[in-house]
């Protein structure tokens, strides 16, 4: 009887070479009608991985105070990867959503509450039926102050999970190195395809 293949993040030497060319994406967010690539100091950015990025992006574009969202890849090695390359498990990236928000209208804690409650951060390299390193839970912050907030939030939610008899958080909480945009058809996918796949499911444990 054969055992299951062990899933692990590949070493840098095992990752695909990628390419220098960046992914072309639309100028405008399909839903919010704001720039997809935001360069404005009035806004802050947090990048999160919650499994399949289609449903995760929709969660955040619906929140008041969120200025723009985009889906892509982060946390790995391969530069400017394609979706197929990420799904191969040979880039070390995970699927992520870049959330650009107005800190005067919504705070990071509220965004993180949605992050923790709307997926299962204890599942390692999977979310529900989606299996692979590209589905791992992650928070990639942009500065030390954000990092401190994210780490405190993880500690608090772990306490709630433990109290409920759930497992340990496996979420990566690390500084963002590089965000690579996903292909145009992935951007705001569930607005284009309202009945499209969304595998997100939380633990039922509230983030206090």
pLDDT at 208: 85
pLDDT at 6: 84
Under DSSP, the state recorded for 109 is H
Residue spans of the domains in the chain: they are 23-192
Q: What is the pLDDT of residues 70-129, one digit of tens each?
A: 999 999 999 999 999 999 999 999 999 999 999 999 999 999 999 999 999 999 999 989
Q: Give residue 4's pLDDT band: very low, low, confident or very high (50, 70, 90).
A: low
pLDDT at 3: 54
Sign of CA dihedral 153, 188, 203, 63: positive
Q: Which residues are known catalytic residues?
A: 52
Give the residue carrying structure tokens 């996903």: 182
List of E strands, 40-176? 44-50, 66-74, 94-101, 126-127, 130-131, 137-141, 172-175
CATH class of 23-192: alpha beta
Q: What are phi and psi of 180, to 5 degrees?
A: -110, 125
pTM: 0.96
Burial 30-68 (b: 16+ CB within 10 A, else e): ebbebbbebeeeebbbbbbbbbbbbbbbbbbbeeeebbb
Write the burial class of residue 11 (CB in 10 Å: 0-12 exposed, 13-18 middle, 19+ buried). Answer: exposed
Q: Give the mean model confidence (pLDDT) for residues 31-56.
A: 98
């Amino acid at each position: 009887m054969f055992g299951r293949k062990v899933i692990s993040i590949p070493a840098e030497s095992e990752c695909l070479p990628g390419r220098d060319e960046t992914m072309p994406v639309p100028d405008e967010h399909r839903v919010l009608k704001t720039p997809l690539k935001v360069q404005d100091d009035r806004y802050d950015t947090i990048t999160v991985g919650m499994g399949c990025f289609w449903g995760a992006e929709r969660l955040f574009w619906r929140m008041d105070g969120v200025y723009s969202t985009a889906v892509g890849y982060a946390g790995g090695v391969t530069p400017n990867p394609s979706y197929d390359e990420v799904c191969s498990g040979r880039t070390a990236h995970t699927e992520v959503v870049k959330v650009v928000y107005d800190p005067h209208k919504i705070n990071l804690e509220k965004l993180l509450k949605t992050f923790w409650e709307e997926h299962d951060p204890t599942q390692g390299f999977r979310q529900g039926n989606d299996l692979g390193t590209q589905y791992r839970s992650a928070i990639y912050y942009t500065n030390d102050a954000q990092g401190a907030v994210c780490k405190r939030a993880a500690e608090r939610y772990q306490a709630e999970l433990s109290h409920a008899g759930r497992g340990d958080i496996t979420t990566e909480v690390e500084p963002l190195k590089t965000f690579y945009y996903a292909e145009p058809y992935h951007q705001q996918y569930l607005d284009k395809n309202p009945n499209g796949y969304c595998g997100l499911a939380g633990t039922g444990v509230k983030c206090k």
